[in-house]
Amino acid sequence: MTVRSSQRPVFDPVDPAFLEDPYPCYAQIRDAGPLVRLGPTQWVTGRHAQVTRLLRDPRLRNEWPEPFQRMRLGDGEVKDFLLRLMLYREGTDHTQLRRFLSAIMHATPAAELRSYVARVSDQQIRGALESGRLEVMDDLAFPVPLAAACELIGVPDEDRPMIKAWGIELIKAFAVVLSEPDRPLANTAITELRNYFRGSLRGRDPKLAAIAAALGGTAASGPLRHDELVDNVIFLLVSGFTTTVHLIATALAILLDHPGVIAQLRDDRSLLHGAVEELLRYDAPLQHISRLAVEIVDVDGQKIRPGRVVHLLLGSANHDERQFASPERLDIRREPNPHVSFGTGLHACLGAGLGRLELTTLLDRLLSQCRILEPGGTAVRRPMQVFRTYSRIPVAVAA
């Protein structure tokens, strides 16, 4: 992180030092005030009270003008894809799309999904136990969320490798700026996914057939077009595994650095739900989001004017000393724990429940089956805009 001569903190989300460890930067931003000006058109806040309030403020929106998205993504299929998503829509469109996607997610009972995640986790863990080595990213963080998201939608087993490949390319479009080399790959990925779903929605799987029926009913009853709904189903699938990857990776990396916490959870499994919330707070997989002001917003006497961008630092809010006692300490008994890792308000993460279910179930299976669960080498971070994640987390395991 750099500091100008005026000592005003600089929020640079692509700075390598920030990507490696953003928390010193967050502390300086919190110390600088409840709202910090970055320049003539941008503001940033890292305090819990302000982040929580602004996430719920309807005058700050996540619907961005097309020229802005073109600047970020280029002028291709991926730009049109993002403009259609629930994530970047407001008002009636957002409400209708959220209701539609929520119905798909809740069509599978939680108990059934939990049982499925447990079976997939057991299968992955058994393979690692045979060798005594587990690589978190390859053995758990990708396979378990991918299987769960595909099961939720109805994507058959044989199609999942290509869904993974396309999803990895497409999710890059949610960075601050999609790099020039990645743009053709992301555009190809959304084209392939659209072609896949147009064919699959004819009903190869009962769940896909049900989604196809829902698409027809929703399109007939409202202003949303069929292609918008298809793109949002793609978003549900891709975000359902590409974001949970980082949740699982960061959680396991934290636990491996805290063997005492692993021992506590092994002795008392009732602590597991509280541990999941604390792991989410301690190093949020999604670190920051941005909003666009459409009206004047007053924050502690400072006015955010229309057209200004506000960066809301979720990872910083989760470490705000004004809200959390000893925020640098991992406390799985922390209560209350009002972290904002899944956001809040109208744009709160739709997949929060699924993410919690997957992580809780996976940790339970690991604790049940692994007598030894400790670092098997040095974890390697993967610098990634917006997300905190890893490229490699080696673990030594024994049954």
The per-residue pLDDT for range 178-217, each reduced to its tens digit, is 999 999 999 999 999 999 988 776 656 777 777 777 776 6
CA-CA distance, 248 to 390, in Å (whole number)?
A: 10
How confident is the model over 33-59, as a mean pLDDT?
Answer: 96
Q: Which of 16-30, 189-203, 340-354, 359-373 shows the lowest per-residue confidence on average (mean pLDDT)?
A: 189-203
Residue 6 has pLDDT above 60, yes or no: no
The per-residue pLDDT for range 314-350, each reduced to its tens digit, is 999 999 999 999 999 999 999 999 999 999 999 999 9
What's residue 217's pLDDT?
Answer: 62
Residue 221 has pLDDT above 60, yes or no: no
What beta strand segments (E) does the chain contain?
36-37, 42-45, 60-61, 133-135, 288-293, 297-299, 302-304, 309-313, 372-375, 380-381, 390-392, 394-398
- 249-287 burial: b if 16+ Cβ within 10 Å, else e: bbbbbbbbeeeebbebbeeeeebbebbbbbbbbbbbbbb
What's residue 387's pLDDT?
Answer: 92
* Residues in contact with 285: Cβ distance below 8 Å, sequence separation at least 6, in sequence order: 243, 246, 247, 249, 250, 341, 387, 388, 389
The per-residue pLDDT for range 269-302, each reduced to its tens digit, is 999 999 999 999 999 999 999 999 999 999 999 9
Pick the CATH number of 16-398 from 3.10.105.10, 1.10.630.10, 3.40.50.720, 3.30.365.10: 1.10.630.10
Q: Which of 25-34, 138-147, 150-159 shows the lowest per-residue confidence on average (mean pLDDT)?
A: 150-159
Residue 3 has pLDDT above 50, yes or no: no
What's residue 4's pLDDT?
Answer: 39
